[in-house]
């Protein structure tokens, strides 16, 4: 297994930059301090290494540990705004990596909390987007991530929904016409899906 060290961030940047569509030269307005490929590299590198839990921690970690690699880091407020702007690009990169032609899929879901239940009524970050949901661990407030993988543990399909959405409703999003066999827990079983996929 490859052990990551600081020099590998350059390899990651080259891969991300090649994977992203080239920006149009006709775009007007002020240029960002960070290129889209640099910011996506930072966010992916965080997940692969230290796994900071929020954008503020990522920002100060990059500023402290990688100042020479990213000398033009913007202020924190602009960093957060740029992170929000590149969400469609990150989604495209992820979708390009999915093994969408795999014939055997294993499906499951997990809860992604945005805050503790006691703070759900006052939480504003995901207001009108997050919701309450329940699984075998109890009640949660936030989202639910649905995913399917193949036998080589490669991602084949992803769907992010409010926590209240039923697993069975997401099967069309994490399966496609190539899937011949789908293995799942009872949450994905419904009469509607049994008729659709038999």
Residue whose C-alpha is closest to residue 157's, from 111, 192, 105: 105
Q: What is the pLDDT, as a whole number, of residue 128?
A: 85
DSSP for 49-103? TT--SSHHHHHHHHHHH-TTT-TT---HHHHHHHHHHTHHHHHHHHHHHS-TT-S
Chain centre to alpha carbon of residue 135: 21
Q: What is the pLDDT, as a whole number, of residue 187?
A: 67
Tell me: pLDDT of 198 over 60: no
Could you tell me the two tokens for 168? 């069975």
In a 13 Å sphere around the CA of 141, the CA atoms on its Cβ side amount to 15
CA distance 139 to 42: 33
Mean per-residue pLDDT, 129-144: 89
Could you tell me the two tokens for 145? 């991530």
65-120 pLDDT, tens digit per residue, is: 998 888 889 999 999 999 999 988 888 888 888 898 999 999 998 898 888 888 88
Mean per-residue pLDDT, 167-177: 86
- Look at the chain and count its residues: 198
E strands present in the chain: 104-113, 131-135, 138-149, 155-162, 181-183
CA quadruple 85, 87, 90, 91: dihedral sign: negative
Distances, alpha carbon 14 to alpha carbons 19, 40, 41, 48, 113, in Å: 9, 11, 9, 16, 33
Q: What is the pTM of this model?
A: 0.72
Tell me: pLDDT of 181 over 80: yes
20-73 pLDDT, tens digit per residue, is: 887 765 555 566 788 999 999 999 999 889 888 889 999 999 999 998 888 889
Tell me: pLDDT of 182 over 80: yes
Instruction: Classify residue 4 by its DSSP letter.
Output: P
Local structure of 5: helix, strand or coil:
coil
Q: What is the pLDDT, as a whole number, of residue 192?
A: 44
CB atoms under 10 Å from CB of 9, counted, come to: 19
């Amino acid at each position: 297994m490859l052990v990551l060290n600081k020099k590998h961030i350059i390899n990651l940047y080259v891969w991300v930059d090649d994977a992203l569509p080239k920006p149009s030269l006709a775009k007007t307005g002020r240029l960002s301090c960070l290129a889209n490929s640099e910011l996506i590299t930072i966010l992916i590198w965080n997940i692969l290494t230290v796994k900071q839990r929020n954008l503020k921690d990522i920002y100060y970690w990059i500023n402290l540990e990688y100042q020479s690699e990213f000398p033009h880091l913007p202020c924190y407020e602009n960093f957060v705004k740029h992170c929000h702007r590149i969400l469609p690009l990150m989604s495209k990169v992820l979708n390009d990596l999915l093994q969408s032609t795999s014939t055997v899929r294993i499906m499951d879901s997990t809860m992604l909390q945005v805050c503790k239940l006691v703070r759900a009524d006052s939480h504003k970050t995901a207001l009108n987007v997050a919701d309450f949901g329940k699984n075998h661990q109890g009640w949660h407030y936030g989202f639910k991530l649905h995913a399917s993988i193949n036998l080589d543990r490669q991602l084949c399909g992803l769907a992010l929904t409010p926590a209240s959405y039923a697993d069975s409703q997401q099967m069309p999003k994490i399966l496609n016409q190539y899937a011949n066999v789908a293995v799942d827990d009872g949450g994905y079983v419904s009469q509607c899906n049994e008729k659709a996929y038999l």
